């Protein structure tokens, strides 16, 4: 892993100069909100999320090295012990224990997910917008079910999801704390992605509506 870590560090600008990456404001918003729903509100966490996003959005290969590199950048200051490494133990997801099969099995599952998702993505541009959005969400849910890392699965998963959206001419989806967050979590309990997309559009309209003075 040391060789890979050195590669990521060499490709990474100084975090103090993270503004030089000049990400779009809508990208910064989704990264900030994505951190916030995982109780990571710090500027350090946002800086590293921007680095991970910049790294992954500019990678042509959708493979395991790309994923590990982005995860390393996301957590290299918050939790360097696990940054860029597939988990080596069982983890709790809420009140559910996610067992540890083996490092080899996890890497194989993630590699298979990356390949199949990338293969299917070739057909998304001919689909209707809602159908395309729903398929991206379905693949996001499948990634989270693998849960390859000890921590950071949700944040890196949403970066992957929004990478797919941006590459297919969709704006990043922003999940805000509160009702949006609750409905987002319902996706992992069987909520139809198409239903979530329709509801999320309503949430966006509510958030955009000017508040009336009382």
| Residue 213 within any structural domain of the chain | no
| Residue 161 within any structural domain of the chain | yes
| Residue 117 within any structural domain of the chain | yes
Instruction: Give the range of the structural domain holding residue 122, as residue numbers without chain letter.
Output: 2-208
| Residue 192 within any structural domain of the chain | yes
How much is the average pLDDT of 86-103?
94
- Categorize the per-residue pLDDT at 125 as very low, low, confident or very high, splitting at 50, 70 and 90: confident
On the question of pLDDT at 170 being above 70, the answer is: yes
Entry pTM? 0.86
How much is the average pLDDT of 15-24?
50
pLDDT given at position 201: 86
Tokens found for residue 112: 């298979």
| Residue 38 within any structural domain of the chain | yes
CATH number for the domain that contains residue 66: 1.10.3290.10
Is residue 141 within 8 A of residue 153, CB to CB? The reply is no
pLDDT given at position 207: 61
Nearest to 146 by CA among 105, 184, 196, 200: 105
Report how many domains make up the chain: 1
| Residue 98 within any structural domain of the chain | yes
| Residue 214 within any structural domain of the chain | no
| Residue 84 within any structural domain of the chain | yes
* DSSP-assigned letter for residue 111: H
φ/ψ of residue 175, rounded to 5: -105, 110
On the question of pLDDT at 75 being above 80, the answer is: yes
């Amino acid at each position: 892993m040391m060789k890979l870590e050195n590669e990521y560090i060499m490709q990474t600008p100084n975090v103090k100069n993270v503004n030089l990456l000049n990400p779009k404001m809508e990208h910064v918003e989704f990264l900030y909100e994505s951190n916030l729903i995982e109780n990571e509100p710090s500027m350090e966490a946002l800086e590293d999320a921007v680095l991970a996003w910049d790294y992954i959005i500019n990678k042509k290969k959708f493979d395991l090295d790309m994923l590990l590199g982005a995860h390393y950048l996301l957590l290299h200051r918050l939790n360097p012990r696990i940054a860029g490494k597939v988990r080596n133990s069982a983890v709790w997801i809420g009140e559910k224990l996610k067992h540890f099969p083996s490092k080899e099995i996890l890497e194989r599952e993630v590699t298979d997910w990356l390949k199949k998702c990338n293969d299917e993505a070739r057909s998304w541009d001919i689909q209707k917008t809602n159908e395309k959005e729903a398929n991206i969400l379905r693949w996001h849910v499948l990634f989270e079910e693998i849960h390859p890392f000890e921590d950071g699965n949700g944040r890196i998963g949403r970066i992957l999801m929004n990478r797919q959206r941006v590459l297919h001419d969709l704006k990043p989806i922003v999940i805000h704390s509160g009702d949006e967050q609750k409905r987002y979590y319902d996706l992992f309990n069987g909520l139809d992605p198409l239903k979530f997309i329709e509801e999320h559009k309503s949430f966006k309209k509510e958030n955009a509506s000017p508040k009336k003075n009382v």
